[in-house]
Structure 1
């Protein structure tokens, strides 16, 4: 039987799946486990994306140093493919690692540089963790591309070996990432899953975190936004086609507890722009890559969630030298009510306090 949902119900399922209700999660590992992935985009106009994503769920108790400890010391969280992930998800990624690299160019380049590959693994085993800059470029064949990776052979090799599961990211700091052999970062006692088992469980976990998704969506290089035939079939009023819904999410609709949140532009709730427009009726685009004169909302504008609706964008920037969070504008998609204005203002103040800054500007004015 196909379920029929209102758009409000679909929004609430999506918000609840992303842990953005008043019922906040207990800790960092629990949050990453429930979200399945946390984006590591380092752009820090306000704060790095991973920190914003975790702060928006956990609030003031979250501190970046706690995440670093979980990655570097406890090994409860690991980095792969540009995302932080709970280490308990490693078995779900290992089958995909076995099939890396996917591109023929990378496979051929890796084969041509087999001596270089073995030398790097030997050096990491003896001296690691190391930065890419610590590894001499001894490539037999140089990597060619039209982008920034051209001729950056040590870094390109490490990137490929991480994706293959031979090397792992041990830690990162202001200077970048440190790499080590994978068996010093990943646990040894990992359950072996088939490709099919891992793919199905990843899809199940993805649907739980999203709440509602398409069976088939736009292809993504690492983390899909679709879920196949997992979950229950549903239609949503005002949208075309069929959706897939996490059946457990339906039980929480009656007790939906709203709050206001400022989200990273890389937050999973806004990542799929098509889904964002269909379910939330919200137009959003990250404008950091646009010339300043062509920006509508700002360099790193944060989507503003209020309850189960997106109501605007916050254009702000951290000025740590001056000790302030500069609020350039609060863009209202529709005129704010007094209640929304007060809630958004309070959230901006909370963000500034968490950053250790004062607010400069006129939030929600």
Structure 2
């Protein structure tokens, strides 16, 4: 006897824990598995190829850059946890071919340039004394404490340093930081390791403004170039379109999350808004879920992608226990508060 659409839907509701009220209820174990699966940490592994690496980057949204290098650099460890053995030159090759590019703290897919261009544009406005809809906190975080107020002061005190850097790059770039003369009148002062590193911090500020880019490395040292001509032309997303895209991408990368957790996603989070989540929910592209750990429901409003029922069915069918090592900066556990709530450690 053929299975009707209603019967199939009822079976899916039973599998996924959907009640008659339409609220999707998942267990804490299922929430953890959704998060792990979204992070590409379940079989099948990614392929150790250019295409395989790029696919993982597009799913995760970013690799965090960190100078710590005991076993290997953090971006390589994140990929190793998902691919296994691979040639690190694949990442350098994707950067060289401009399939990937660097922000002040992340390696990101070039296909996401319209998203990151929006942040660059907002930072450029904020450091030029122009109004921006981005909140103060959303433009902090990356780049050695180069939040807008401090960066604006550095630019205002040192217009000649900015001009000389850009002029030299136009004439001779790409160049390492050591190729520039320090013409700063007012030194960069943060009370941290970067005090008086005026050229380095100017380059970081200009990178966040979208004026310069890291065009490669020579013996581990960044080579800087003008962004104009190196980055492809890409109209920044803005307004509601930007908020919808970033909310969708952040949720796909996290699997299940609260709005606060979505806003902490390094690549997309700062643009996520409640209005965007409500709109996506109304279209069925996002779904609210209740997560229960035994008899106790987790606090907060949790969201999952609109196809979460199908994702749960896939997880139930194909879940395999496996062990892998994670970098302390791995995307799955980078948000410490979320890690503690999901995994209780």
TM range (shorter): 0.7 to 0.9
Work out which of the residue numbers 193, 205, 228 in structure 2 matches 1:183: 228
> Shift of residue 23 of structure 1?
1.8
Q: TM-score, normalised by structure 1?
A: 0.71
Alignment of 1:148-297 (within 5 A): 148-188=193-233, 190-217=234-261, 223=267, 227-229=272-274, 230=277, 231-238=286-293, 239-256=298-315, 257-258=319-320, 259-281=322-344, 283=345
What does the per-residue CA deviation read over 1:89-135, in whole Å, with 9 as the maximum and x for residues that have no partner? 01111111012145222112212222221111110111111111111
Greater length-normalized contact order (CA 8 Å, ≥ 6 residues apart) = 2
Q: Secondary structure at the match of 2:203?
A: helix
Q: d(CA) in 1 for partners of 2:219 and 2:308?
A: 39
Work out which of the residue numbers 50, 53, 56 in structure 2 matches 1:28: 53
CA contact 2:250–2:265 (8 Å) conserved in 1: no
What does the per-residue CA deviation read over 1:10-60, in whole Å, with 9 as the maximum and x for residues that have no partner? 011101100011122341111101100111213121111100111111222
RMSD between superposed Cα atoms in Å: 2.1
Q: Secondary structure at the match of 1:44?
A: coil
Higher helix proportion, which one? 2
Work out which of the residue numbers 70, 81, 91 in structure 2 matches 1:45: 70
Q: Structure 1: any 5+ residue segments left out of the alignment?
A: 284-365
Q: d(CA) in 2 for partners of 1:195 and 1:115?
A: 34
Q: d(CA) in 2 for partners of 1:213 and 1:174?
A: 40
- 2:60 matches 1:63: no
> Shift of residue 224 of structure 1?
6.4
Q: Would the alpha carbon gap of residues 186 and 54 (structure 1) be closer, same or farther in structure 2, given more than 3 Å must change?
A: same
CA contact 2:28–2:342 (8 Å) conserved in 1: yes
Higher strand proportion, which one? 1
Q: TM-score, normalised by structure 2?
A: 0.75
TM superposition outliers: structure 1 runs of 4+ over 6 Å: none
| Number of equivalences | 279
2:107 equivalent in structure 1: 84
> Shift of residue 221 of structure 1?
9.9
> Shift of residue 222 of structure 1?
5.3
CA contact 2:35–2:254 (8 Å) conserved in 1: yes
